[in-house]
Amino acid sequence: MKLKILEMSQKSESHYIYVIKSVSILGKQIINKEYRRFAL
């Protein structure tokens, strides 16, 4: 039982990191677009 919980927590942790990475990449793309629009 403990092993199963540990396995699940590791999976959710890696999923969480994946979500954070994809969100930060999206955020950077949006910021770059806005910056270019204001810079020009």
* First-to-final CA distance of the chain: 59
Q: What is the pTM of this model?
A: 0.51
Question: d(Cα 14, Cα 10) in Å, to the nearest integer?
Answer: 6
* pLDDT (0 to 100) of residue 37: 85
Record the tokens describing residue 17, joined without a space.
């990191």
* pLDDT (0 to 100) of residue 1: 61
* pLDDT (0 to 100) of residue 40: 65
Alpha-carbon 10 to chain mean position: 16
pLDDT in tens, the chain (40 residues): 677 877 877 888 888 889 899 999 999 999 999 888 887 6
Question: d(Cα 37, Cα 30) in Å, to the nearest integer?
Answer: 11
